[in-house]
Amino acid sequence: MPEILQNPPLLLCPLGDNAVALLFGETISPDIHRRILAVAQALEQQPFAGLVEFVPAFTSLTVYYDPWVLSQQGKLDAYSEVVRQLGILVEQVQETHTKPARVVELPVVYGGIYGPDLEEVAEHAGLSTDEVVRIHSSGTYHVYMIGFAPGFPYLGGMDVRLSVPRKADPRNRIPAGSVGIAGAQTGVYSISTPGGWQLIGRTPLQLFNPGRDNPSLLQAGDEVRFVPISPEEFLVMEEEQAWD
Partner 1 sequence: MGLKIRKPGLLTTVQDLGRYGYQRQGVVVGGAMDKVALRIANLLVGNAEGAATLEISMQGPEIEFEQDTIIALGGADLSASINDKPVRLWRPVLVKAGSILRFGKPRYGNYTYLAVGGGVDVPVVMGSCSTYMHAGLGGLQGRALRSGDKLYLGASSETNRQILSALLLQGKKEASFTEALWSPEPELLPAYAQYPVLRARGNLEYNWFSESSRGYIWQEKYKLLPQSDRMGYRLQGAMLVLEEERGMLSTAVSFGTVQVPKQGNPIILMADAQTTGGYPRIIQVITADLPKLAQVQPGGVISFEDISLEEAQRLFYQQELSMLALQQAILYKLNQV
Residues that bind partner 1 (CB under 8 A): 1, 13-19, 21, 23, 26, 28, 40, 52-60, 62, 64, 67-68, 71, 76-79, 145-152, 154, 190-191, 193, 208, 210, 214-216, 219-220
- Shortest distance, CB of residue 112 to partner 1, whole angstroms? 27
Tell me which H or E stretch contains 181: strand 178-182
Query: Per residue in 145-162, is it b (16+ CB within 10 Å) or e — as a string?
Result: bbeeeebbbbbbebeeeb
- Shortest distance, CB of residue 22 to partner 1, whole angstroms? 11
208/226 with CB nearer partner 1: 208
77/130 with CB nearer partner 1: 77
56/204 with CB nearer partner 1: 56
Contacts of 103 (CB under 8 A, 6+ apart): 140, 222, 223, 224, 225
137/219 with CB nearer partner 1: 219
- Shortest distance, CB of residue 122 to partner 1, whole angstroms? 29
56/111 with CB nearer partner 1: 56
74: left (phi over 0), alpha (psi -120 to 50) or beta: left
- Shortest distance, CB of residue 181 to partner 1, whole angstroms? 18
- Shortest distance, CB of residue 244 to partner 1, whole angstroms? 16
